[in-house]
Structure 1
């Protein structure tokens, strides 16, 4: 009997179809956000393997209901929407595709930095209403500015390469990366307060975890310059959106660019969306044709390995093997 493989959200069909060699592939509803546990359980309860994105929340109840599940393969960055503890205890490997969208995310960060510095959100909205540039609409150059990079993983590393032609000073905060590695990238390792205080642009590229949740809050926003901009292409939960709204409304900082939000899909009623000093995109930083091919292929390769009885390569929870032995 063929294994059942469920692709919850299709990102690149040709790469997904590589899994046909080991099972029958079924696809989720493209219009569903899968925020309802029962809907998600109905989709995956008899699956042997699932391929996921950031869509849907794979809670203890959802994972436990999928009694045949042998792998959860995430396309893209580390899965913040999967109960890793439950998957581990059930002997299920959770994989990801590190670096597959790093270049795309870094490019998006540069795009957002440029757009907020050039006041594109405000002036574009004004032009549509018949307004021309005014004395107060003076944009900014990136050349020679100080850019603070929070998180020096693959996207943060790529960003340093893209920024070099602009002759910026690059400050990096990442307690888990050596000074030597940051020095080699042409940047300077500093603590978070120094980065926030001195940067003209602060761009976030770190993982979402208990330690980083709301790392940008009311207190940290007050460290930033009044003419500074904040960009987030990482995870929405890194920023306290209520505090950011207050900061943007009261001009504690000049503006922001957000590709990610605390609740996704973001509601059209999000108060931030009413402001003219913010640029917003719907979690698009890694959603490029090229990155999605790499992500889908990487996830498909992991599924093929596991369903063939081989070990996966990029595993979030390597301890799953200990529980897997107990279950078997």
Structure 2
């Protein structure tokens, strides 16, 4: 077979690659005698398609981006938010505040747990500390879930004898302290039960340390009287029960107990008449007044 194939202008080596002595072939003329555009990278028009594809894909034909030719834009990290966006000093302050809050929450939960837990070594040794933390604001009891829950409304009322500026003595009407506490709570978005619990607990202490004739039973009777008398005296003075020039001389306390009405769908009949328990007149001591508290 001849070294030059018919219809081809290039000599072929056995592997189909142009030989080293292959002559250059002029570009084919286009229509109307114009020269055809050069092939990419100087590949002759009559060359093989495989050679053209290989030449186009050579790495030296695609140089790396240079300073004059910028590359793709760099990705920026997302901006920091929350605590991470604060300075180091503020982050330390936030961390300390969170640690203090977490410690206070753990302490409170532990105190309440010891309060409601059965008697144990800790409550026997530190029972006073637990009670001081829990009472009166965080008191826990089982009255709502007991077999016989509380079915009475107990109101503590007080009246006073006031010495007037002209040397006379006048007696006030009954002040319903429990009703005042209820009105302060109703409709309040952030109510405080401190005064309500204080008054209720002082009355419970009195009734548990006195018999039906209001005589003290046990060693805490005198303490219960002093505690209850001091609470009502302070409430009367803060409510301006004595007037501008009056002096509080003595107080009398009573309880008004009414039964909770039975539900409409029940057959139980309960009395709706209030039951009163009046205590004797107590002389106001010097350490019961607002000035002694200050």
TM-score tier, shorter chain, comes to under 0.3
If you compute each CA radius of gyration, which structure gives the higher value, 1 or 2?
A: 2
* Greater relative CO (CA pairs within 8 A, separation 6+): 1
- TM-score with structure 1 setting the length: 0.17
